[in-house]
């Protein structure tokens, strides 16, 4: 072994196991994702035995399942080397070490903060430790008010300890089982951090629950798990992420989101994500919706090298409904493959999917959607609308909607439009005094307006600003 | 009083081997005047309008378009505007710069922009115009100082841009409301998306509204009367007259028909044939065209040729 490697190994060990160096030193010797690795993670977190078992079962699944390679037009994942999965975790831990030093952030991330006009104090906050502090403050204030009502909002790792029964019942059992797909299995094995939200019966949480910068300060936060349980008649709006990019020296993000929408409950899950351009963003998000429950998915996907993300709703009970709004933006070298899945498994269920994508400079966006209407789901309806906006002839946009309709008494609508940003539209706005950039920006803001109008104003403003930066080609 | 001077303008479709459409147009429009530009289909009327506004689909191969400004036109500029900034070669400017100097193009088929409300759009346009004017008229020292200032980001996105010179939302809404009342437009227009789902007549009315808000020195209105029923035609015509009477805007009105000229009386009428102004005259020329068509003008052109 060369001295360089020696040095590397030593650094790794320090970074990963700052508290228990000696005990863990054998861990790094293992290459790839092994049972031992999982045991170490679980022990490190002091998890109960059942969680370790779930992790190990997920690992088994992961090892058995093949990489998805043959979906038509899917992003190329050949660079995602699962045997190297542990070295992928390491840099993220280094992040934790370096977050309080602004200068250690990669240039593209720093530029983003600068261009967003985020002041220094806020930058420090966003880069990690401070953010945790910042969000703690907000979180504590809200917590009192919520606690009285029995609402729980905490870190997922904490939830395993303190709300064990709830977590044990719901965590990757009925909603997103590890067997769902290879990356759900990976997530099940090495998940860490994330949010746990529990809203008791007939409780309405009026203000959005926000998980903001949490991930940066969570060691292996790139595998965060979000579990939302909304009991009968309750209501909650959960917002995850923010428009500031999540710092990632790491290049695989594989999160999991599970939402339980009780009878007559209403959950809105909103996310605006902006990943660094070297990230593979492969997530599984799903909601189980009981009778007359309503699930809303609002998501803006920005950044990443490749994204594969299809939030899903399973409409289990009569009268359940789902509403999807997704927006994707792909620039040079990016392939954003996103869409929605809805399973209508009961009568009188309703879904709408509104998908918008923007591509420029050779970027590629796909809409990949699945609407399944089961035999017996009579009087159900679905409406799918996909709009793609392209800036130039090098960019690509594909629409791949699948409709599986096994019931005749249903109402199904699908509409897709693909357009290039029209020269006439730009000229029209220019003739009114807007310059070329502002004209394009205005057209795109209008295009994404259905998303921004669903978000709290500060998210909407930041999303618009991010899109503007993407369009100037000044991010990443 | 601003003057738009078009001299010997030649233009072709901006592509390899593109068709030549304008073959030496001469025209002069002063603010406060109404000119009608008539002529058969394909004679180059719309092309003239687009070239004045700077449409990228056309390439100017010869000739000039000049905008001359007097004290009144630059009254909003804080400092003394020197002589060299009173005469502008429009062909050297971007469309938005031409707009900032006071050129307005009313479209026959305006773009529909989803998701952008009329209010938002018009306020942004007005602010963009005033910002661009500042840049066009500021002296070099100021320009350098501004460039230095702009290199940093001193505001948070939560606070919005540092737009001290801009017209605020409340103030703008007052302005918009007033102009819409003047044009007899429904208040609901303000919250609708720009031209999206507007009827033909609503779009035309909207074009006039925009000219009323942006207060251009010269408005070129391309077939603003096409597809209008008689009530709407009267509304639109009243709007055009108001542009001239209340803002002193000069109007170059492109039309096929005498009809609108019954309501908007032109000071000058020009007939365009095959990319040239073949005949100019007063309001009675339009009436003669209505009665006798364009053939006699064409004959005259070929006789003299």
In sequence order, the β-bridge partners of residue B5 are B28, B66
* Average pLDDT, integer, range A419-438: 90
Chain A positions touching B99 (Cβ under 8 A) are: 430-433
- CA A406 vs. chain centroid, Å, equals 31
The pLDDT of residue B21 is 97
With an 8 Å Cβ cutoff, are B125 and A461 in contact?
A: no
CA distance B115 to chain A (A): 4
Q: Give chain A's mean pLDDT.
A: 78
With an 8 Å Cβ cutoff, are A431 and B156 in contact?
A: no
CA distance B164 to chain A (A): 17
With an 8 Å Cβ cutoff, are A432 and B210 in contact?
A: yes
The pLDDT of residue A143 is 66
Pick left, alpha or beta for residue B157 (phi over 0 → left; psi -120 to 50 → alpha; otherwise beta): alpha
CA distance B295 to chain A (A): 33
Residue in chain B nearest A244 by alpha carbon: B157
Listed in sequence order, the residues at least 6 apart from B186 whose beta carbon sits closer than 8 Å to its beta carbon are B180
The pLDDT of residue A221 is 46
Chain B positions touching A435 (Cβ under 8 A) are: 94, 96, 128, 132
Res A104 pLDDT > 70: no
* Average pLDDT, integer, range A288-301: 94
Q: What is the DSSP string of B166-207?
A: SPPHHHHHHHHHHHHHHTT--GGGGGSBTTTT--HHHHHHHH
What residues in chain A have their Cβ under 8 A from chain B's Cβ atoms? Answer: 114-119, 122, 422-425, 427-436, 438-439, 442-443, 445-450, 458, 461-462, 465
Beta strands in A69-155 (DSSP E): 152-155
Res A303 pLDDT > 50: yes
Q: What is the DSSP string of A248-314?
A: -SS-EE--EEEEEE-TT-EEEEEEEEEE-TT-EEE-EEEEEE-TT-EEEEEEEEEE-SEEEE--EEE
Q: Cβ–Cβ contacts within 10 Å for residue B28, how many?
A: 15
Contact B94, B54 (CB under 8 A): yes
Interface test with B, best of A242, A325, A422, A431 (most B CBs within 10 A): A431
DSSP conformation class of A83: G
The pLDDT of residue B289 is 87
When CB atoms are compared, the residue of A117, A428, A433 closest to B107 is A428
DSSP H or E segment with residue A45:
none
The pLDDT of residue A52 is 96
When CB atoms are compared, the residue of B95, B116, B132 closest to A446 is B116
The pLDDT of residue A110 is 55
Report ipTM (2 d.p.).
Answer: 0.93
Per-residue pLDDT of chain B (305 residues; tens, 9 = 90+): 899 999 999 999 999 999 999 999 999 999 999 999 999 989 999 999 999 999 999 999 999 999 999 988 998 888 888 888 999 999 999 999 999 999 999 999 999 998 999 999 999 999 999 999 999 998 777 667 666 655 444 433 333 444 445 777 788 888 999 999 888 888 888 999 999 999 998 999 999 999 999 999 999 999 998 888 888 899 899 999 999 999 999 999 999 888 888 899 999 999 999 999 999 999 999 888 888 888 888 888 777 65
State pLDDT tens for residues A41-89.
Answer: 888 889 999 999 999 999 999 999 988 888 888 888 888 876 666 544 4
* Average pLDDT, integer, range A342-367: 94
* Average pLDDT, integer, range A290-302: 93
The pLDDT of residue A131 is 31
Go through chain B and tell me how many residues it has: 305
When CB atoms are compared, the residue of B56, B155, B194 closest to A427 is B56
The pLDDT of residue A222 is 73
Chain B positions touching A468 (Cβ under 8 A) are: none
Confidence of residue A413 (pLDDT cuts 50, 70, 90): very high
State pLDDT tens for residues A261-291.
Answer: 999 999 999 887 777 777 888 999 999 999 9
What residues in chain B have their Cβ under 8 A from chain A's Cβ atoms? Answer: 53-57, 94-96, 98-100, 104-105, 107, 110-111, 113-116, 121, 124-126, 128-129, 132, 153-158, 160, 193-194, 210, 214
With an 8 Å Cβ cutoff, are A449 and B114 in contact?
A: yes
Interface test with B, best of A116, A272, A424, A430 (most B CBs within 10 A): A430
Go through chain A and tell me how many residues it has: 476
CA distance B160 to chain A (A): 8
When CB atoms are compared, the residue of A432, A448, A458 closest to B99 is A432
Q: How many whole angstroms separate alpha carbon B211 and alpha carbon B221?
A: 10
The pLDDT of residue B148 is 60
Strand, coil or helix: B273? strand
Using CB atoms within 10 Å of the CB of residue A102, give its burial: 0 to 12 exposed, 13 to 18 middle, 19+ buried: middle
Interface test with B, best of A356, A425, A432 (most B CBs within 10 A): A432
Q: What sign for the dihedral angle of Cα A43, A46, A49, A55?
A: negative
Residue in chain A nearest B133 by alpha carbon: A433
The pLDDT of residue B162 is 42
Half-sphere exposure (Cβ direction) of A364: Cα atoms closer than 13 Å: 15
Pick left, alpha or beta for residue A164 (phi over 0 → left; psi -120 to 50 → alpha; otherwise beta): alpha
Residue in chain B nearest A452 by alpha carbon: B115
Contact A136, A143 (CB under 8 A): no
Q: Quote the crossing angle between the two packed helices A85-98 and A182-190, to the nearest 10°.
A: 50
The pLDDT of residue A213 is 46
Listed in sequence order, the residues at least 6 apart from A111 whose beta carbon sits closer than 8 Å to its beta carbon are A474, A475
Res A218 pLDDT > 70: no
With an 8 Å Cβ cutoff, are A461 and B124 in contact?
A: no
State pLDDT tens for residues A227-273.
Answer: 999 999 999 998 876 544 455 455 778 889 999 999 999 999 988 77
The pLDDT of residue A15 is 35
Q: How many whole angstroms separate alpha carbon A13 and alpha carbon A40?
A: 13
With an 8 Å Cβ cutoff, are A434 and B128 in contact?
A: yes
Confidence of residue A341 (pLDDT cuts 50, 70, 90): very high
Q: Quote the crossing angle between the two packed helices A35-44 and A49-64, to the nearest 10°.
A: 150
Chain A positions touching B104 (Cβ under 8 A) are: 431
In sequence order, the β-bridge partners of residue A252 are A280
With an 8 Å Cβ cutoff, are B111 and A424 in contact?
A: yes
Residue in chain B nearest A438 by alpha carbon: B128
**Cα distances (angstroms) measured from residue A171 to each of A151, A195, A395, B305:** 18, 12, 40, 88
Listed in sequence order, the residues at least 6 apart from B205 whose beta carbon sits closer than 8 Å to its beta carbon are B183, B185, B232, B235, B236, B239
- Nearest-CA neighbor of A44 among A58, A57, A27? A27
When CB atoms are compared, the residue of A114, A434, A448 closest to B124 is A434
Confidence of residue A108 (pLDDT cuts 50, 70, 90): low
The pLDDT of residue A11 is 37
Q: How many whole angstroms separate alpha carbon A338 and alpha carbon A324?
A: 12
With an 8 Å Cβ cutoff, are B124 and A438 in contact?
A: yes
Half-sphere exposure (Cβ direction) of A219: Cα atoms closer than 13 Å: 14
State pLDDT tens for residues B218-270.
Answer: 999 999 988 888 888 998 999 999 999 999 999 999 998 888 888 999 999 99
Beta A410-420 vs A266-275: how paired, if at all? unpaired
With an 8 Å Cβ cutoff, are B94 and A445 in contact?
A: no
- Nearest-CA neighbor of A228 among A285, A145, A309? A285
When CB atoms are compared, the residue of A431, A449, A462 closest to B99 is A431
Interface test with A, best of B126, B157, B211 (most A CBs within 10 A): B157
- Nearest-CA neighbor of A80 among A367, A306, A249? A306
Q: How many whole angstroms separate alpha carbon B88 and alpha carbon A14?
A: 68
DSSP conformation class of A319: T
Strand, coil or helix: B116? coil
* Average pLDDT, integer, range A92-105: 42
Q: How many whole angstroms separate alpha carbon A222 and alpha carbon A194?
A: 9
The pLDDT of residue B100 is 96
Contact B115, A453 (CB under 8 A): no
Listed in sequence order, the residues at least 6 apart from A78 whose beta carbon sits closer than 8 Å to its beta carbon are none
Q: How many whole angstroms separate alpha carbon A83 and alpha carbon A79?
A: 11
CA distance A114 to chain B (A): 7
When CB atoms are compared, the residue of B94, B111, B160 closest to A428 is B111
């Amino acid at each position: 072994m060369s001295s360089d490697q020696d040095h590397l190994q030593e650094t790794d060990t320090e970074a990963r196991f700052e508290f228990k160096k000696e005990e863990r030193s054998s861990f790094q010797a293992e290459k790839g994702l092994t049972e031992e690795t999982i045991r170490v993670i679980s022990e490190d977190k002091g998890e109960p035995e059942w969680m370790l078992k779930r992790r190990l079962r997920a690992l088994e699944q992961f090892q058995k399942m093949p990489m998805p390679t043959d979906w038509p037009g899917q992003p190329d994942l050949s660079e995602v080397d699962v045997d190297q999965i542990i070295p992928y975790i390491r840099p993220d831990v280094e992040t934790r070490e370096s977050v309080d030093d602004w200068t250690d952030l990669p240039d593209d991330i720093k530029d983003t903060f600068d261009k967003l006009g985020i002041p220094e104090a806020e930058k420090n906050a966003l880069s990690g430790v401070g953010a945790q502090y910042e969000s703690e403050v907000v979180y504590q204030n809200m917590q009192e008010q919520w606690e009285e009502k029995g609402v729980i909002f905490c870190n997922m790792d904490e939830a395993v300890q303190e709300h064990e029964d709830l977590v044990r019942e719901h965590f990757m059992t009925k909603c997103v089982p590890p067997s769902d797909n290879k990356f759900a299995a990976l997530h099940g094995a090495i998940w860490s951090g994330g949010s746990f939200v529990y809203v008791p019966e007939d409780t309405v949480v009026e203000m959005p629950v926000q998980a903001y910068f949490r991930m940066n300060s969570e060691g292996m936060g790139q595998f965060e798990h979000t579990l939302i349980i909304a009991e009968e008649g309750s209501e909650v709006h959960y917002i995850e992420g923010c428009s500031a990019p999540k710092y990632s020296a790491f290049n695989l993000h594989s999160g999991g989101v599970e939402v339980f929408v009780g009878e007559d409950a209403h959950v809105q899950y909103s996310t605006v994500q902006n990943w660094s351009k070297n990230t593979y963003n492969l997530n599984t998000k799903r909601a189980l919706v009981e009778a007359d429950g309503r699930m809303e998915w609002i998501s803006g996907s920005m950044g990443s090298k490749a994204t594969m993300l299809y939030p899903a709703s399973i409409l289990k009970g009569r009268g359940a409904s789902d509403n999807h709004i997704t927006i994707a933006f792909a620039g040079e070298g990016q392939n954003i493959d996103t869409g929605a899945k809805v399973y209508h498994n009961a009568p009188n269920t309703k879904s709408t999917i509104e998908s918008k994508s923007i591509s420029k400079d050779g970027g590629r966006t796909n809409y990949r959607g699945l609407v399944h209407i089961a035999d017996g789901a009579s009087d159900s309806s679905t409406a799918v609308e996909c709009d793609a906006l392209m800036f130039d002839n090098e960019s690509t946009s594909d629409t791949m909607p699948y409709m599986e309709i096994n019931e005749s008494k249903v109402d199904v609508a699908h509409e897709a439009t693909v357009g290039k940003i029209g020269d006439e539209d730009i000229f029209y706005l220019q003739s009114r005094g807007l310059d070329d950039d502002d004209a394009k920006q205005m057209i795109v803001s209008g295009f994404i307006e259905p998303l921004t109008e669903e978000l709290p104003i500060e998210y909407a403003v930041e999303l618009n600003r991010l899109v503007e930066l993407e369009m100037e080609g000044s991010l990443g | 009083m601003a003057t738009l001077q078009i001299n010997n303008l030649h233009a072709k479709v901006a592509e390899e081997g593109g068709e030549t459409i304008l073959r030496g147009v001469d025209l002069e429009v002063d603010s406060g005047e109404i000119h009608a530009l008539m002529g058969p289909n394909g004679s180059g009327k719309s092309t003239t309008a687009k070239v004045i506004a700077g449409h990228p689909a056309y390439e100017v191969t010869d000739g000039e378009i000049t905008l001359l400004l007097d004290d009144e036109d630059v009254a909003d500029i804080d400092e003394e505007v020197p002589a060299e900034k009173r005469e502008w070669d429009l062909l050297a400017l971007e469309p938005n710069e031409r707009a900032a100097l006071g050129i307005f193009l009313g479209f026959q088929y305006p773009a529909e922009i989803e998701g952008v409300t009329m209010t938002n759009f018009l306020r942004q346009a007005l602010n963009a115009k005033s910002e661009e004017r500042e840049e066009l008229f500021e002296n070099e020292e100021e320009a350098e100082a501004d460039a230095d200032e702009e290199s940093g980001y001193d505001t948070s996105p939560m606070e919005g841009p540092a737009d001290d010179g801009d017209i605020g939302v409340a103030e703008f809404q007052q302005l918009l409301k007033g102009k819409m009342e003047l044009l007899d437009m429904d208040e609901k227009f303000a919250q609708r998306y720009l031209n999206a789902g507007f009827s033909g007549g609503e779009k035309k009315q909207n074009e006039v509204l925009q000219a009323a808000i942006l207060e251009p020195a010269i408005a070129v209105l391309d077939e603003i009367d096409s597809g209008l029923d008689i009530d709407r035609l009267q509304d639109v015509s009243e709007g055009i007259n108001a542009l001239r009477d209340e803002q002193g805007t000069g109007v170059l009105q492109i039309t096929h028909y005498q009809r609108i000229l019954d309501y908007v009386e032109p000071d000058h009428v020009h007939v365009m044939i095959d990319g040239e102004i073949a005949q100019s005259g007063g309001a009675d020329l339009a009436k003669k065209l209505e009665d006798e068509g364009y053939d006699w003008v064409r004959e005259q052109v070929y006789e003299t040729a």
